[in-house]
Amino acid sequence: MRRNYISPEFSYTSINGTFNMQEETSFFGSKMLKISDDIIINNQNIIYYQNLNNEQINFLLEKNNPPILYNSTSDKLNNHNIVLDKSQTQAQAISNSRWIITINSETILSNYIFATLKNHRTFEGIRNNVTLSNSVNASINDYITKNILNRYQYSSLQFYVKYIPLSSQSSLKYNNVYDESVNLSDNLNTKIQSIFDNTLGTLTITYNQELPSNKFKFNYYFNLHFNRI
């Protein structure tokens, strides 16, 4: 019998491109998502629609479902914390207390981009079963991590503070409140020190309370600014 030299050990199987969310570059160019030059995360609400499987297939049907709301104010609340600096003296803690605020800025940026992509229906038509993790949402987050986050850098932070007299309510001492209503130009405070850790994707703020802690507490708010590299 004459051999045809076709090896039976190999076969070609079609694989969906959505199994790999890493954008590959080539000599002749490649596709890349168009992104904004600047992102300012203040108090936006972003609304999008999807089906019960988190897919975006048919907008006319999906708009009958309850809308999904991304609230940047709530996201920032959930991704930061504020504590008294333990290295300060007791006298300083009683008078002009020093506060440490840690913000998971990269997580906030990623969540904001995710909601924006959903709002623009960037991945419309992709079903869960054509993704590696069997989840469109997980694949979108994977795409953001591999292709978008490294195209942005932290630029600046706007920190707002409003002091509240304690009066006779001593129980409110040190009870500083994250408050969206403080987001006014008159309350903008520039007397902060900030350090961005690119490895961890976190922003650390040091703030020295300007009015005595035994007489005043403060409400605060912050906005984040990123720009494209």
Is residue 54 helix, strand or coil? coil
Residues in the chain, total? 229
CA 85 to chain centre: 25
Q: CA geometry: angle at 102 spanning 146 and 145, to 5°?
A: 5
In whole angstroms, give the CA distance from residue 192 to residue 227.
Answer: 21
Q: What is the dihedral of CA 39, 45, 49, 50, to 10 degrees?
A: 70
pLDDT at 14 over 90: no
pLDDT at 26 over 60: no
Q: Which of 103-107, 138-142, 211-215 has the lowest mean pLDDT?
A: 211-215
In whole angstroms, give the CA distance from residue 203 to residue 197.
Answer: 6
Token pair 């001593």: residue:
170
pTM for this structure? 0.87
In whole angstroms, give the CA distance from residue 116 to residue 39.
Answer: 11
pLDDT at 59 over 90: yes
In whole angstroms, give the CA distance from residue 187 to residue 52.
Answer: 42
In whole angstroms, give the CA distance from residue 131 to residue 127.
Answer: 7
Joined together, the tokens standing for residue 27 give 């000599």
Contacts of 84 (CB under 8 A, 6+ apart): 93, 97, 98, 99, 100, 174
Q: Which of 33-37, 97-101, 193-197, 208-212 has the lowest mean pLDDT?
A: 33-37
Is residue 18 helix, strand or coil? helix
Per the CB < 8 A criterion, the answer to whether 158 and 225 are in contact is: yes
Contacts of 101 (CB under 8 A, 6+ apart): 80, 81, 82, 204, 205, 206, 207, 222
Which of 66, 61, 75 shows the shortest CA–CA distance to 107?
75
For the segment 82-109, what is each residue's pLDDT rounded down to a tens digit?
999 999 998 888 888 999 999 999 999 9
Q: Which of 12-21, 55-64, 100-109 has the lowest mean pLDDT?
A: 12-21
